[in-house]
A and B are shown apart, each in its own frame.
Chain A
Amino acid sequence: MAELIAEHTGRVLTLTLQRPQARNALNNALLEQLAAALEAAQGCEEVGAVVITGSETCFAAGADLKEMVSLDLVATLDDPRPGLWQRIEAFNKPLLAAVNGYALGAGCELALLCDIVLAGENARFGLPEITLGIMPGAGGTQRLLRTVGKSLAFRMVLSGEAIDARRAMQAGLVAEICPPALTLEYTRQLADRIARQAPLALRAAKQSLRHGMDVGLSQGMKMERQLFTLLAATDDRREGIDAFLGKRPAHFTGR
Chain B
Amino acid sequence: MALIESAVSAGVMTLTLNRPERLNSFNDEMHRELAEYLRQAARDDSVRCLLLTGAGRGFCAGQDLNDRNVDPSGPAPDLGYSVETFYNPLVRRLAALPKPVIAAVNGVAAGAGATLALGCDLVIAARSASFVMAFSKLGLVPDCGGTWMLPRLAGRARALGLALLGDKLSAEQAERWGMIWQVVEDAELADSAQALARHLAAQPTYGLGLIKQALLAAEQNTLDQQLDVERDYQRLAGRSADYREGVTAFLAKRAPQFTGK
Contact = CB atoms under 8 A, between A and B. Distances in A.
Interface of A: 178-179, 181-182
B37 interface: no
B135 interface: no
Interface residues of B, number: 4
Interface of B: 232-233, 235-236
A178 B236 CA distance: 12
Nearest to A178: B232
8 contacts: A178-B232, A179-B232, A179-B233, A179-B236, A181-B236, A182-B232, A182-B235, A182-B236
Contacts of A178: 232
Main secondary structure of the interface of B (DSSP, over half): helix
A196 to B, nearest CB: 22
A44 to B, nearest CB: 31
A178 B235 CA distance: 12
B84 to A, nearest CB: 15
Given A179-B233, A182-B236, 6 more contacts: A178-B232, A179-B232, A179-B236, A181-B236, A182-B232, A182-B235
A182 B232 CA distance: 8
A70 B149 CA distance: 53
A181 B233 CA distance: 10
Which of B232, B233, B235, B236 has its CB near the most chain A CB atoms (within 10 A)?
A: B232
Nearest to A166: B220
Nearest to A180: B236
A97 B233 CA distance: 22
A179 B233 CA distance: 8
Contacts of B235: 182
A86 B200 CA distance: 55
Nearest to B236: A181
Contacts of B233: 179
